[in-house]
Structure 1
Amino acid sequence: MPLSPDRNPNPQLKKHQSWPDLWLKDPQALKNVVHKMRLQSLSSSNTPPSEPEETLPLSQSDTQDDNLPGPDYTALLSDQLLLIILSKLTESQHVSNSLVCKRWSVLSGQLVRSVRLLDWEFLESGRLVYRFPNLECIDIVEACMTLPRNSGILLSSKFVSFHVGTRFWDARFVRQEDLLHSDLIDAGLRILAEGCPNLRKLVVIGASEKGLCSVAEECPTVQEFELHCCTDLALMGISGCQNLQILKLIGRVDGLYDSVISDIGLTILAQGCRRLVKLELVGCEGSYDGIKAIGQCCQMLEELTLCDHRLDGGWLAALSYCENLKTLKLHSCKSIDPSPGPGEHLGSCPALEELHLKRCHMRDYQGVRALFLVCETVRELVLEDCWGLDNAIFGTASICRRVRFLSMEGCSLLTMDGLESVVLSWKDLKRLRVVSCNNIKDSEVSPAVAALFSVLKELKWRPDSRSLLSSGLEGTGVGHKGGYKGELAVQSIQFPHSLVY
């Protein structure tokens, strides 16, 4: 009689059961093993276990209540190993991870590198540095303000954003009374400096010399400061930052702040921060002396940005002392230089490569011409939404004979004649971008300009919203003969029949 496959042919020989089979049949044994492993991990540390290893009592509720959470297997991992695992997760998961347990909350806080503080009490009580001991970047501007946060009115600018009330005083949103007292801010900076020695970037408002000195003393790795509503004497506090490389000073801002940074502050800054690489001055006063001091002392300065400057006439001549300056940016300036002086006394920046002008008033012929004289070595020229830039004023840019890239956007007064007279004088021009310049017409493209277009490496031509890709460009090689292999950037040119090759 054949044996059934379900029957054992030799009932005396029993199958030996493995450890997993025993654990699955006996849940109590599995719990004992896990608990044993936990006790062994505790016994290996300096703190002895609370119970002897030989005994493993389990309460009756542990064996009967299945709704209780299971054992915490992460308790077997060291803090260093668990920290490595949590660091592999995305930053968006740090908040949810910190809610798992107290241990995870502490470890997740060690992974946070950047914080924007809204509650000053969180810093003043010491909870901030305890919760996030490894902070590298912190913004405490909004926490330093006493403005109501439940007003429902959010004021945003390119420098700062905060809630404001329904009443305004002296045509300014932020008064001196709306800021915490400087002593409180300095005390908070002391707590922050002592608790976060790895700090690299600090954004603060209304700080004095004392508070900034504490940061310079306790945080040797600080490399970037952004100071709002700052004064001249407060800049003495950052003179001890030996590794400071990036600095942004926001002085007077119409409708927001009303602080003054003059030649005194610029001189203090120049003598104390000699390793500056990038400097941005917003709403700062000063003159030739302040810019000269920066150029002479800050030999490593490579980028200078002036936004809505209040500099006195003649400051342009001081740029020649910035021998290693590579990028100069002027943003929202109501004037370039009201009295630049004779051209032979201006000098030039020998290492300058980029000049950016954005939302600047360029109606002053002499000031614009002096700027191009000082920046005659530039290779990239960017003009965006500049008022008053007509053919005559733009013609002064022909002084810069090394330009390789020209970008123009929102220059509505410029015509094709003015553009042609300049670009044809630049023998090294390789890239051209013309966008939203409504007075430049496709029909006015001359044969000389068309020939220039054919050898450019990159060309983006969209002077107005009506410009479309012209079928007359097909087969002409515009945008390709210079070696540019990307997408054809030309958006419009309507060639007369005599110009089509």
Structure 2
Amino acid sequence: MGYRETAEEDDHETMSLRCEKPNPKTSPLPPSKRRTARWSDIWLKNTTPLKNMIFAMQLASPNPKSTHKTLIPNWANIDRTSVLSDEILLKILAKLPESQRKPSSVVCKRWLNLHGRLVRSIKILDWNFLQSGRLISRFPNLNQVDLLSGSLIPDQNSGISLSCRMLSVHTGSGFSPNQRVLESNLLPAEVVDRGLDGLASGCPNLRKLVVIGASELGLLSVAEECPTLQELELHKCSDNVLRGIAACENLQVLKLVANVDGLYSSVVSDIGLTILAQGCTRLVKLELWGCEGSYDGIKAIGQCCQMLEELTFCDHRMDGGWLAALPYCENLKTLRFQSCKRIDTVPGPDEYLSACPALERLHLEKCQLRDKKIVRALFMVCRAAKEIVFKNCWGLENDMFRLASTCRRVKLLSLEGCSVLTTEGLESVILAWKGLECLRVASCKNLKDKEISPALSTLFSTLKELQWRPDTKSLLPSRINGTTIGKKGSRFFRKTRDLKMLFDDQNPLLEFIHR
């Protein structure tokens, strides 16, 4: 069988291969000795199609010597990002790290505007920036706004700065401890309300807001225009102001600051707490700073806010007997006390002090624990807690700490800055906690290494986490701390070793560490 290449006359760029049987009459060789045609013979026999193909390829290839002209003149000098849409360029800028977004915003005005659309959180320092409308035009997609510093009128001629953990303000030289510094340095409530009205209409997707000195009308406008508001921090609030936030149906995190010594003063009583409880039924976290109230206000919160999981009291002014209302918070998991001069004045009889059923964590920081009856009532209400934290608490001596033995489910204990507590008082309580897994001790100068008993050492060997830094002279941190002694206890405390031999010396822990 053989192949023959034919070329069409009217189309030189088309080749066709067709099969043709050899003619035995014209062939000089017999059929048995005829050789089959090869591709090389067919290809070199007629080179016309090959020449046509090479010519067509030369026409299609660009000429490097010719000038390449485009539809857009001066293409090399034009910003090529201008042909990208805002949506595409926004996605590109959103991929940049936070450290590179701000420098990229000064490239051009377009990038500056696009950068503003990416900003979600802002802290206002100048109220005119909000009141003039520049805030909304510059940052149209905000969902977190802090107006606290911008609501203050600073003394421009004063170089004295008064700071606290929440804010700082410039004050004059005539400041006295009995003076309410921010009472005269706050913007009028009407000005704050107008700013809130403009902010709510321009940022309907607002999720977090920090404000001071607002009235009921300003908060009502925020509640109506911002249905997605979930977190609110309200300073210098009162019972009447709480009527405005009662309309925030989706509010989940709320911080109320009523009274701050030396800065400003306002009153939140049982009336305001009841209004709050009936309006904000979806609260998960509530912080009460300098608020007044009593048993009725806390009871209303517990009955209405059934999703409440975290409750914080800071420098509260509650009336006596309010502790007995905490069990109404059936889903409460975390209870915190900060800077409280007293937990309760008259806790009431023991039969009214039932335990919070779901409580897991009890945290006390910078609190005065000097009344044994009040501390006992607190531990009775929190006897289901699994985590207890004491940080810089005054009056936590051995007798006070022994009252914590009421809590039988403790798995984590943290002590920091408890300088009165001794090793004996610590041992008497934690040995009774059979489920203790974690112990953290820091800056407790009366906890001595040489006073650790064999029973306490055995307990240390079973803990999953041990942090022991009672003072700078302690020898335990440099050798054992951070080594997860619970997992390596067999290396240090072997069953075949008599533990009593480790404590014959005057400093038994030192001898144990050297071994």
Matched with 2:243 is: 236
Matched with 2:404 is: 397
Does residue 112 (structure 1) correspond to residue 134 (structure 2)? The answer is: no
Q: Give the CA deviation at 1:173.
A: 5.3
Matched with 1:450 is: 457
Equivalent positions of 1:381-396 (< 5 A) are: 381-396=388-403
> Residue 34 of structure 1 aligns to a residue in which SS?
coil
> Residue 253 of structure 1 aligns to a residue in which SS?
coil
Question: Contact conserved, 2:409 with 2:433, CA < 8 A, in 1?
Answer: yes
* Aligned match for 2:305, one of 279, 286, 298: 298
Matched with 2:419 is: 412
CA–CA separation in structure 2 for the residues paired with 1:412 and 1:465: 13
Question: Contact conserved, 2:183 with 2:263, CA < 8 A, in 1?
Answer: no
Question: Contact conserved, 2:466 with 2:484, CA < 8 A, in 1?
Answer: no
Q: Give the CA deviation at 1:20.
A: 8.4
Counterpart code for 1:342:
P
CA–CA separation in structure 1 for the residues paired with 2:295 and 2:127: 40
Q: Give the CA deviation at 1:440.
A: 1.1
Question: Contact conserved, 1:445 with 1:495, CA < 8 A, in 2?
Answer: no
CA–CA separation in structure 2 for the residues paired with 1:267 and 1:472: 54
> Residue 424 of structure 2 aligns to a residue in which SS?
helix
Does residue 99 (structure 1) correspond to residue 137 (structure 2)? The answer is: no
Matched with 1:21 is: 64
CA–CA separation in structure 1 for the residues paired with 2:323 and 2:90: 53
Equivalent positions of 1:41-52 (< 5 A) are: none
Aligned pair in 2 of structure 1 residues 264, 86: CA closer, same or farther (>3 Å)?
Answer: same
Counterpart code for 2:318:
L
Q: Give the CA deviation at 1:92.
A: 3.2
Does residue 129 (structure 1) correspond to residue 167 (structure 2)? The answer is: no
Equivalent positions of 1:109-188 (< 5 A) are: 109-148=116-155, 151-168=158-175, 171-172=178-179, 174-188=181-195
What's the C-alpha RMSD, in Å, of the aligned pairs? 2.6
Matched with 1:8 is: none
Q: Which moved more, 1:128-137 or 1:143-152?
A: 143-152
Aligned pair in 2 of structure 1 residues 245, 153: CA closer, same or farther (>3 Å)?
Answer: same
Does residue 34 (structure 1) correspond to residue 72 (structure 2)? The answer is: yes
Matched with 2:230 is: 223
Counterpart code for 2:308:
L
Counterpart code for 2:348:
G
Aligned pair in 2 of structure 1 residues 477, 106: CA closer, same or farther (>3 Å)?
Answer: closer
Matched with 2:345 is: 338
Deviation digits for residues 359-399 of structure 1 (CA, Å, limit 9, x no counterpart): 10001111111000000000000001100110001110000
Question: Contact conserved, 2:327 with 2:354, CA < 8 A, in 1?
Answer: yes
Aligned pair in 2 of structure 1 residues 208, 483: CA closer, same or farther (>3 Å)?
Answer: farther
Aligned pair in 2 of structure 1 residues 481, 401: CA closer, same or farther (>3 Å)?
Answer: farther
Q: Which moved more, 1:218-227 or 1:170-179?
A: 170-179
> Residue 258 of structure 1 aligns to a residue in which SS?
coil
Count of matched residue pairs: 442
Question: Contact conserved, 2:454 with 2:503, CA < 8 A, in 1?
Answer: no
The TM-score normalised by the length of structure 2 is 0.81
Matched with 2:18 is: none
CA–CA separation in structure 1 for the residues paired with 2:484 and 2:340: 40
Q: Give the CA deviation at 1:479.
A: 3.0
Question: Contact conserved, 2:206 with 2:228, CA < 8 A, in 1?
Answer: yes
Q: Which moved more, 1:140-149 or 1:380-389?
A: 140-149
Matched with 2:81 is: 74
Matched with 1:322 is: 329
CA–CA separation in structure 1 for the residues paired with 2:104 and 2:278: 47
Question: Contact conserved, 2:388 with 2:413, CA < 8 A, in 1?
Answer: yes
CA–CA separation in structure 1 for the residues paired with 2:228 and 2:402: 47
CA–CA separation in structure 2 for the residues paired with 1:18 and 1:165: 81
Q: Give the CA deviation at 1:130.
A: 1.0
Deviation digits for residues 293-345 of structure 1 (CA, Å, limit 9, x no counterpart): 11111000000010111111111001010000000000010011111011111
CA–CA separation in structure 1 for the residues paired with 2:477 and 2:404: 30
Aligned pair in 2 of structure 1 residues 93, 386: CA closer, same or farther (>3 Å)?
Answer: same
CA–CA separation in structure 2 for the residues paired with 1:290 and 1:205: 23
CA–CA separation in structure 2 for the residues paired with 1:477 and 1:206: 50
> Residue 419 of structure 1 aligns to a residue in which SS?
helix
CA–CA separation in structure 2 for the residues paired with 1:477 and 1:85: 46
CA–CA separation in structure 1 for the residues paired with 2:139 and 2:170: 26
Q: Give the CA deviation at 1:351.
A: 0.2
Q: Give the CA deviation at 1:165.
A: 3.4
CA–CA separation in structure 2 for the residues paired with 1:260 and 1:472: 53
Q: Give the CA deviation at 1:470.
A: 7.8
Counterpart code for 2:212:
I
Matched with 2:445 is: 438
Structure 1: segments with no counterpart, 5+ residues: 1-12, 38-68, 485-493
> Residue 355 of structure 1 aligns to a residue in which SS?
strand
The TM-score normalised by the length of structure 1 is 0.83
> Residue 289 of structure 1 aligns to a residue in which SS?
helix
> Residue 428 of structure 1 aligns to a residue in which SS?
coil
CA–CA separation in structure 1 for the residues paired with 2:307 and 2:139: 33
> Residue 466 of structure 2 aligns to a residue in which SS?
strand
* Aligned match for 2:196, one of 156, 174, 189: 189
